[in-house]
Amino acid sequence: MNLEKMLEYQKIDHEIYKIELELQKSREMERVKNLKSQISLAENALLRLNKEASDLFAAIQNIEKDIASAVPDKGIIDNANTLEKAESAEKTLAACLESLANLEREARRAFDRLSAITKEAAKQYETGKYLSFEHKKARDEANALYIKVKLEQKDNFAKLAELTSQIEPKLLERYKALREQRRMPAIVAFNGTNCSACGMDISIEMSEKLKKSGDMAECPNCRRIVYLK
């Protein structure tokens, strides 16, 4: 009796399940998924820009330290009281000026990139806002479609609710778990040797489990519930 009610439940629910699969392929749901993917891309782009900006700030701090280190000591000029010392001081100053010029170019490139990042981030933020708005709108349309279909299936949902009280809770729970995993139909007949869903020969495993009509067991391969007619 429990199996009979479970099979009746599955027959009705399988029709709802197929409609749900069709809904997932609908234009509305495809738009929801597409927009969600675009939002994810925009968010990842912002994360990358934030990371790059953080790295640039750290680089600029290092450049500032290098600039401070590159500034020559005042004593080099003060102590250039001989021709030899003056020539040495001149070389040191020239090297310092070259180093400072290089550091200045590095700093300019870093600041230019930061400026570009700011503009890119602002653009990505606006894109994200627009996509989020469109995603909500698309999701509302998809929900409206789902509600419409659910209302059309209200008689079937009522039958399922009625059958629920006539089925062993653990069996129904197992069925719903298989449904969630998209292993439908979840309860299939044992044809004497094979699972009629996955086709695997399970005659040895079922020999001690399925002895009389109505007996049920789990297929060791696909994990569906197999029963003996």
Which residues are paired to 225 by β-bridges?
187, 218
Residue with tokens 């789902």: 146
pLDDT digits (tens, 9 = 90+) for 34-80: 999 999 999 999 999 999 999 888 888 888 887 777 666 655 555 55
Domains and CATH numbers, the chain: 2-167 (1.10.287), 168-229 (no CATH)
pTM (whole model) above 0.75:
no
**Cα angle value 171/175/179 (rounded, 5°):** 170
> Which H helix or E strand runs over 187?
strand 187-189
Which residue, 199, 193, 196, 228, is CA-closest to 214? 228
Q: In what order do the strands lie in the sheet with 216-218?
A: 187-189, 225-227, 216-218
CA dist list (Å): 147 to 60, 133, 202, 223: 56, 21, 42, 32
Res. 88 pLDDT band, cuts 50 70 90: low
| Cβ atoms 199, 44 nearer than 8 A | no
pLDDT at 8 over 60: yes
Task: Report which residue type is found at 145.
Answer: L
What's the pLDDT score for residue 65? 80
Q: What is the pLDDT of residue 12?
A: 97
Parallel, antiparallel, or unpaired: how do β-strands 225-227 and 187-189 relate? parallel
Q: If you average pLDDT over residues 146-172, what whole number do you get?
A: 93
Question: How many angstroms separate the CA atoms of 122 and 208, rounded?
Answer: 68
Residue type, 72: P
32-34-37-42 Cα dihedral, nearest 10 degrees: -100
